[in-house]
Amino acid sequence: MCLPPAGAGAAFFREWPSWVSPDVEVFAYRPRGRDSRLSEPAPCLFSEYLSDALSSLPELMTSPVAFVGHSLGGLVAFELARSARDMGLPAPLFVVASAVSAPQHVVPSGLENATDDHLIGVLRSFGGTPPELFEEEGLLPLLVARLRADYCCLASYATRRRVGPLLDVPLFIAGGQGDPIVLREHLYAWREQTASQFTCELFEGGHFFVNEHSSGFAAWLSGVIDEQSSSSRM
């Protein structure tokens, strides 16, 4: 189950099926307020976002599953694993969180209160949005609205993060060597969140290194999936 970064939807993962073996299904979660759910109001609280993502779990977890998320999606992936445990559902094979600080280091960015023009500038600077979208005046208000809603979710997570037992599933963290947003030590701090296997890998690129330099990340992710799938069958 793949969870997108702030402002993005399922299309963020459109290339990912080609990165993994044919027997691996890439299920890209569609948050409210985007893709086929454009008419639904985007959640402004992390708890609402998580609750909506949780509704997909009972059906998905009839087969082995992993949670993979980028940026905001990485936090959602982590909290999905904790919630699955609390609900008595089977544990995921593993969790991958990329380009996001460990929960104990997440702080409100203040961008939830930024002007529309400032948020557009943020979108441009991050480099994760196709440049042609900035020429589509009809799309910009939608992009800004859902980005603002996701930053509201992030702010609510930072101020209301729940503390609980450590995860007991493998946790794989990935980051960009040139990410201007996430500190390297805050990637390694994820180690404090699991009692199981922990790995942190750094890749060339910035906050959206998974798209900028996808080959290295794709090979790494495919290796993680193959290794963990093999381990689960032993």
- Residue 45: its pLDDT value, please? 95
Each domain of the chain, given as residue ranges in start order, spans: 2-233
Q: What is the pLDDT of residues 169-183, one digit of tens each?
A: 999 999 999 999 999
Q: What is the pLDDT of residues 77-91, one digit of tens each?
A: 999 999 999 988 889
CA nearest neighbour of 70 among 198, 176, 194, 227? 176
Q: Looking at the domain that runs over 2-233, which CATH code has it been given?
A: 3.40.50.1820
Amino acid 103 reads P
Which residues does the chain have with pLDDT short of 50? 234
Q: What is the pLDDT of residues 34-50, one digit of tens each?
A: 888 888 999 999 999 99
- Residue 156: its pLDDT value, please? 94
